[in-house]
Amino acid sequence: MENVVEIRDLHFSYEKRKILNGINLRIPRGKTVAVLGTGGCGKSTLLRLISGQLKPERGQVLVDGEDVHALDNDDLYRLRRKMGVMFQVSGLFSDLSVFENIAFPMREHTDLPERMIRDLVLMKLHAVGLRGAHGMMPRELSGGMERRVALARAIALDPMLIMYDEPFAGLDPISLNVIAKLLRRLNDALGVSSIVVTYDVSESLKVVDYVYFLSEGRIVAEGPTTEILVSEDPFVKQFIHAEPDGPVHFHYPAKPLRRDLGLTSG
């Protein structure tokens, strides 16, 4: 199957607030794809829909050919074992060591003997450069180290699909560069498909093969990274060059300020 994820006419709302309004996108097998957009545009919601945490109003999410929202609980959990997620806030268990955090999904979802789990955990940590930190607690880690441990946990079960929710947020330049290179290297070494949702244009464009731009619930632009970098599309240009004026407005829709302050009538 050519695409590991295929999304067709996807609609989703939080109560009366429309978040996604007819999304169509594909994640080719073995490729790294970015979904870029401003904060609150629905990027993280999209990941929750792909993993089956949320249900759409209408539309389809196909993962490895299976309709995610048509599965029962057992089949959904089986499909989720093929997915790895690097959460926006890392999501490490604070009372477990680095080693135990990586071992947790292996113990939860497999019947592997402890000796094999030990070897696999050390291999995953070695892949992100933190084998020597296996005995540390999450509170002892720097921000960059914490993200790398979260990445090691995301690949613990050798998933076919890895989803990254704002992997570059809050990192210093050195840690950010390390995470970006690791993301690309692991994708190529493991032969997995990756989805990166972020607002960080400069770093994501260095490591992804294809880009979708999400705004006001729709895909407003898309294309291979090489084409996006030279695109004349107004939205793409504004986003890539961080221009203040363009299709994306800074202010959320509201009444005129003078009217809200009671300085005018009508």
pLDDT digits (tens, 9 = 90+) for 17-57: 899 999 999 999 999 999 988 777 788 899 999 999 999 99
pLDDT digits (tens, 9 = 90+) for 90-104: 789 999 999 999 999
Locate 205 and state its tokens: 């464009």
User: Is the predicted pLDDT of residue 1 greater than 70, yes or no?
Assistant: no
Residue 234 contacts residue 249 (beta carbons within 8 Å):
no
| 116 against 171, higher pLDDT | 116
Residue 182 contacts residue 148 (beta carbons within 8 Å):
yes
Q: Is the dihedral of CA 216, 218, 222, 225 positive or negative?
A: positive
- The candidate with the shortest Cα–Cα distance to 186, out of 169, 166, 164, is 164
The predicted structure's pLDDT at residue 245:
62
pLDDT digits (tens, 9 = 90+) for 229-255: 888 887 787 777 766 666 666 556 677
Cα-atom radius of gyration of the chain, to the nearest Å? 20
The predicted structure's pLDDT at residue 251:
59
